[in-house]
Structure 1
Amino acid sequence: MFTVLLVIHVLVTLALIGVVLIQRSEGGGLGIGGGQGMGSFMTGRGTANLLTRTTAILATVFLALSLLLALMTRNTTTSAGAIFDAPPLSTTAPATTTPLGAHAPAPAGPAAPAKPAVPATP
């Protein structure tokens, strides 16, 4: 389900980018569709209204998908952890090197818990 929503999110993003770039800016920028005459399918104003509506719809879908994907991944944990999590603290001492031929001391493991003294029953 997550993968399907992510693919749809990417497609909506690409469509939104395309629709925004097609629109005619105030300076004429990247606008496409110049030279529309009376025989055109849509007038200049109709095209602008269609592109504005399409942009608003795609922006709404993009926002909804972004929120949905964020809510879906909110409670998941990974082995790497979150970006802002502190790295785990090391509880072992750094490894020391020993000269060749010397015996390295046995690694110290966790100490066994002390057993409480139980009084002997007579």
Structure 2
Amino acid sequence: MESILLVVHVIVALLIIGLIMLQQGKGAEMGASFGAGASQTVFGAVGSGNFFSRLTAILAAVFFVTSFVLAVIANNRVELDDRLIPELETVTEVPAVVTPPASEVPAAPAQESGAQDSPIGE
């Protein structure tokens, strides 16, 4: 159900984008009145306004409804997942750190001060 709703949501979003791109802006009316491209439109100079406006409003309402339903589904899923997580036990004791006495720690080997170990060449 969720995947079908998500597909419908994406399709509606793409249709809204397409309808908005097809609509003429407010400034196009002045050019259309002087014959600038009105004959090349499918619905004429004024005929497309109501159809595209109403279809855009309907698709916008469908988009809002699908957004709301998807948000409710996602919220219910989060609540369900929270119930499945087991509670963590609290640790009451901290283990003590044991350090060996200094006599048991091996000493680092002493380096001889010779020219052979020098990183600088002659």
Q: TM-score range by the shorter chain?
A: 0.5 to 0.7
- Any unmatched runs of 5+ in structure 1? 29-33, 82-88, 100-122
Q: Which runs of 5+ in 2 are unaligned?
A: 29-35, 83-87, 100-122
Amino acid at match of 1:11: I
- Distance in 2, matches of 1:98 and 1:54, equals 75
Structure 1 residues 35 and 75: alpha-carbon distance in aligned structure 2, compared to 1, 3 A threshold: same
Across the aligned residues of Structure 1 and Structure 2, the Cα RMSD in angstroms comes to 3.3
Q: Which residue of 2 aligns with 1:71?
A: 72
Instruction: State which structure, 1 or 2, has the greater radius of gyration over its C-alpha atoms.
Output: 2
Alignment coverage as a number of residue pairs: 87
Tell me which of the two structures has the higher relative contact order, counting C-alpha pairs closer than 8 angstroms and 6 or more residues apart.
Answer: 2
Q: What is aligned with 2:60? A: 59
Could you tell me the percent identity over the aligned residues?
36
Aligned residue in 1 for 2:23: 23
| Alignment CA distance shift 1:40-1:23 (3 Å) | closer
Secondary structure of 1:25 counterpart: coil
Q: TM-score, normalised by structure 2?
A: 0.53
* 2-structure distance, mates of 1:40, 1:17: 19
Distance in structure 2 (CA, Å) of the matches to 1:98 and 1:4: 60
d(CA) in 2 for partners of 1:22 and 1:67?
27
